[in-house]
Amino acid sequence: MTTTEFEAVPEVAADAVARGRDLIVMKFGGSSVADTDKIKGVARRLVAAREAGNRVVGVLSAMGDTTDELIRLAHEISDRPQPREYDMLLSVGERISNALCAMAITDLGYEAISFTGSQAGIVTDTVHGKAKIAEVRAARINEALDQERIVLVAGFQGVSADSHDVTTLGRGGSDTTAVALAAALGAQACEIYTDVEGVFTADPRIVPNARRLAAVTYEEMLELAASGAKVLQLRSVEFARNHDVRLHVRSTFSQAEGTWIVDEEDEVLEKAIISGVAHTAVEPLYRVREIDAATLFQRLADANVNVDTILQVSTDEIVFSAPAEDADACEDVLGQLGVEWSMREDLGKVSLVGAGMKSHPGIAAKTFATLEGIGVESKVISTSPIKIACHVRTEEVPRAVAALHDAFELEVA
Ligand code: ASP
Ligand code: MG
């Protein structure tokens, strides 16, 4: 049996790498499986990979906006749906798409079997709606692969080791299912099929001449995903980095190469100074008075809030930002702490990301000069060794993205 303890041992099981050499994990997003014709198309693509000599594990998201629809139903019933039942409900979407795909593969003359996350051995903690994968017990998948089957795994879900209840992994969680399986099975690569051709230098809807990147590092992709690039769930990139899974983000609707996400040593990298400009239209900013940082951030962490920018403005004032989807949790925590606080929702964030920043001075200066040149004021600035992020007014976000893309000539390879 292949058991991989992800938190404890960051290695894959000893026999997994040898077994996985001809194995490929292929994940398809919701828009790639939006109707039954598209599911048949995905079935053909999985079969083609099989015919090319691979053993194949497919991970499908729920069809189209099924998950949104299920969430809508839950909120129609209840203001605060009970977390266990919420996960029972949401996990259904992926069962539908994966079962349908297994039927389509069978009709193409190949054997297939679909599994729920639980059946596939995806074991998680018990944080409903945001569960973390703790372990993958891949015995059942390996057995099915040994029987020459194409294996389909319902993404975005697992089972809690403690409560034995169904859990979900957070929005976009099928990416993490796919990466976790690739790691546990020692797959040669994890392919993420989506409705865009890869990772771009900026959102092409804002910057029409944005360019597809051939490759980026895990670090850059982590910053891009954390800064609003929606193509991959943040946690899946972390997982891929921690377990050395090469990721390939590419289009479901073409055969073209997409974007590889690899480590810094990988030969596919082009070593650009700046890789891209990511943005979030709205990223709430909180201002809290008279609390110590340790208490505040511990409480936010306990509530599973992903805090981003943090500024200690003065001894009695802290400013931080957190994603819009964590707003309810933030408000709860701040309310319970009984402190004086305020929140701004009229700001978004523009982030310039590139591994080359580490060794090239002047990037920050040019960023600020560019924003100043178009009359955009940054309200809060935060940096990492490979990122400069500016909170600007939401309505100025598109202009700021376009200006930075232009100033750093990101359209040119
Ligand atoms: N269906 C889930 C969602 O919409 C998971 C996923 O697509 O990755 O978030
Ligand atoms: Mg997604």
Task: Find the 5 Cα to ligand 1 centroid distance in Å.
Answer: 24
Q: For the chain, what are the domain ranges?
A: 3-195, 278-407
User: 3-class SS at 264?
Assistant: coil
Residues whose CB falls within 8 Å of the CB of residue 30, separated by 6 or more in sequence, listed in order: 61, 62, 63, 64, 65, 66, 67
pLDDT computed for residue 103 by the predictor: 98
DSSP-assigned states of every residue in 323-386: -GGGHHHHHHHHHHHT-EEEEE-SEEEEEEE-GGGGG-TTHHHHHHHHHHHTT---SEEEEETT
* Beta carbons within 8 Å of 371's beta carbon, 6+ residues apart: 377, 378, 390, 392, 400, 403, 404
23: pLDDT strictly greater than 50: yes
pLDDT of 151 over the 70 cut: yes
For the CA of 175, the closest atom of ligand 1 is: 8
pLDDT at 6: 54
**Residue 80 CB: number of other CB atoms within 10 A?**
9
Q: Whose CA is nearest to atom 4 of ligand 1?
A: 67
Q: Which residues pair with 25 in a beta bridge?
A: 57, 190
The answer, yes or no, to whether any atom of ligand 1 lies below 6 A from the CB of 156, is yes
Residue 289 pLDDT: 96
pLDDT at 34 over 90: yes
Q: Whose CA is nearest to atom 9 of ligand 1?
A: 171
Express each pLDDT in 184-199 by its tens digit. 999 999 999 999 999 9
Across 238-266, average pLDDT: 94
Q: What is the DSSP string of 60-81?
A: E--STTHHHHHHHHHHHH-SS-
| The pLDDT of residue 205 | 93
CA distance 170 to 176: 10
Average pLDDT over residues 33-37: 98
Is residue 61 in contact with ligand 1, taking CB distance under 6 Å?
Answer: yes
Name the closest ligand to CA 87. Answer: 1
- Closest-lying ligand to the alpha carbon of 59? 1
Residue 117 Cβ inside 6 Å of ligand 1? The answer reads no
CA distance 211 to 213: 6
Going from the Cα of 62 to the center of ligand 1, the distance in angstroms, rounded, reads: 6
* Ligand number with the minimum distance to the CA of 196: 2
pLDDT of 182 > 90? The answer is: yes
- Confidence class for position 271, pLDDT limits 50, 70, 90: confident
Q: Report which bound ligand comes closest to the CA of 66.
A: 1
Q: Of ligand 1's atoms, which has the minimum distance to the CA of residue 65?
A: 4
CATH ID of 278-407, from 3.40.50.300, 2.60.40.420, 3.40.50.970, 3.30.2130.10: 3.30.2130.10
Q: How many whole angstroms separate alpha carbon 166 and alpha carbon 177?
A: 14
Average pLDDT, the chain: 93
Q: Is 30 in the pocket of ligand 1 (CB under 6 A)?
A: yes
Task: Note the pTM of the prediction, 2 decimals.
Answer: 0.88
Predicted local distance difference test score (pLDDT) of residue 247: 97
For residue 2, name the pLDDT band (cuts at 50, 70, 90): very low
Residue 310 pairs in a beta bridge with 320
The verdict on the CB of residue 62 being under 6 Å from ligand 1 is yes
CA of 284 to the centre of ligand 2 (A): 22
Amino acid type, 199:
V
Collapsing DSSP states into helix, strand and coil, what is residue 221? Answer: helix
φ/ψ of residue 18, rounded to 5: -65, -45
What's the CA-to-centroid distance between 403 and ligand 1, angstroms?
32
10 Å Cβ neighbour count for 130? 18
What is the token pair recorded at 13? Answer: 């099981």
**pLDDT for res 19:** 62
The full length of the chain comes to 413
Does ligand 1 have an atom closer than 6 angstroms to the CB of 168? no
Confidence of residue 14 (pLDDT cuts 50, 70, 90): low
**Tell me: domain 3-195, CATH 3.40.1160.10, correct?**
yes
> Could you tell me the sign of the dihedral formed by the alpha carbons of 224, 193, 113, 172, in that order?
positive
Task: Flag whether pLDDT at 1 surpasses 50.
Answer: no
CA of 43 to the centre of ligand 1 (A): 19
The fraction of the chain above a pLDDT of 90, given in percent, is 87
Tokens of 8: 């404890």
Q: Which of 289, 343, 341 is nearest to 312 (CA)?
A: 289
pLDDT at 267: 82
Confidence of residue 17 (pLDDT cuts 50, 70, 90): low
How large is the average pLDDT for residues 198-211?
A: 96
> What is the DSSP code string of 144-170?
HHHTTPEEEEESSEEEETTT--EEE--
Q: Identify the pLDDT of residue 16.
A: 62
Instruction: Report the separation in Å between the CA atom of 323 and the middle of ligand 2, taken as the mean of its atom positions.
Output: 17
How far, in Å, from the CA of 379 to the mean position of ligand 1?
33
The answer to whether the CB of 172 is under 6 A from ligand 1 is yes
> How far away, in angstroms, is 231 Cα from ligand 1 center?
12
User: Does 186 contact ligand 1 (Cβ within 6 A)?
Assistant: no
C-beta 323 within 6 A of ligand 1: no
Query: To test ligand 1's pocket by mutation, which of 65, 91, 95, 174 has the most ligand atoms within 8 angstroms of CB?
Result: 174
What separation, in Å, do the N-terminal and C-terminal C-alpha atoms of the chain show?
46
Sign of CA dihedral 201, 379, 280, 92: positive
Residue 9: pLDDT band with limits 50, 70, 90 = very low
How much distance in Å is there from the Cα of 171 to the middle of ligand 2? 8
Segment holding 327, helix H or strand E = helix 327-337
Note whether 3-195 and 278-407 share their fold: no
Two structure tokens written together for 201? 């230098």
**Higher local confidence (pLDDT), 92 or 9:** 92
Measured between alpha carbons, how far is 123 from 233 in angstroms, rounded to an integer?
19
